[in-house]
Amino acid sequence: MLPFPLIDTHLHLWDLERFAYEWVREEAVLHQTHDLDAFDAVRSDEVAVERMVFVECTVAFDDAVARDEVRWVHQLAEHDARLQGIVAHASLERGAAVHSHIEWLADQPLVRGVRRLLQDEPDPDFCLQPSFVEGVQRLADFDFTFDVCVYHHQLPQVIELVDQCPDVSFVLDHIGKPAIREGHLDPWRAHIDALADRPNVVCKVSGVLTEADPAAWTPDAVRPYLEHAIEAFGFDRVMFGSDWPVLKLASTYPEWVQLVRAVVYDASSAEQHQLFRGTAERVYRLGAAETA
């Protein structure tokens, strides 16, 4: 496995007794509480995870509920030093009206960025409406990243959004969710290249196997997508994420780590360190933590 502990930049946790997650009801394997004990039970001792970034779980598109989720994760972090960052929900489509919520997030010690899930919006131009653009632009005042979670067909709009927000640091989740199941590399590759040309964008190497056939993916099927994303952005602008527990739909935690390691096996030690640790430390401004 890895010769050093990794940083997981895309971890979900949820408690079904605390919050209602309507979207997890569709999958029995996900419709159960997933806490840190459950995470440690499946990651195996072969994989040392030193630090983690919690990413909002779409409890609801509601800033008040998002605050409750942030408070809960801070409570978890009091008992587990590995939780070093939070990417919280914010209803950025509210434009100027979301400012007070972002101010509140800025007062929370672990919040490093914001995500407003876009992948299921039926209008591909949703993220280009003036109020949404204004909401994203306000993140720069607080040094917050914006995690972009979209499907591959929404990437042209994301490119336009990035161009309208040059002072904001963007994080592309799940390498832009390419059509791996269909075997389509294009036009995803061109869109990835365009985003990589924007210096304020970094890319998460995460969420890939669930975009393939979760029950029948092969390393050969996903490798070209991983290789292209890493080559386009370079090791200084890619970072590892597990997307656990959604990952459970397609693989195990150790298997995913091993697959990513195999793709970059010929890379230098410094480059692998950057992918699995260095970029995360810089982008999400992470401090030290004890390995649990």
- Give per-10-residue mean pLDDT for the chain (292 aa): 94 93 88 94 90 92 94 97 97 97 98 97 97 98 98 98 98 98 97 98 98 95 98 98 97 97 97 98 82 42
CA pair distance 71, 64, nearest whole angstrom? 11
Burial of residue 48 (CB within 10 Å: 0-12, 13-18, 19+) is middle
Q: Identify the pLDDT of residue 135.
A: 98
Instruction: Say what the pLDDT of residue 61 is.
Output: 86
Beta bridge partners of 202: 171
Report the pLDDT value the prediction gives residue 139, as an integer from 0 to 100: 98
Tokens of 256: 């995913």
pLDDT for position 292: 42
Domains, the chain, in order of start with CATH, read 6-283 (3.20.20.140)
Contact 284, 11 (CB under 8 A): no
d(CA 55, CA 259): 22
pTM, entire model: 0.96
Q: For residue 153, how far is the Cα from the chain centroid? A: 18
- Distance between CA atoms of 91 and 69, rounded to whole angstroms? 14
pLDDT at position 291: 43
Please report the pLDDT score of residue 56 as a whole number.
97
Instruction: In whole angstroms, give the CA distance from residue 257 to residue 201.
Output: 23
- To which H or E segment does residue 221 belong? helix 219-233
Q: What is the pLDDT at residue 178?
A: 98
Tokens, residue 212: 């393939």
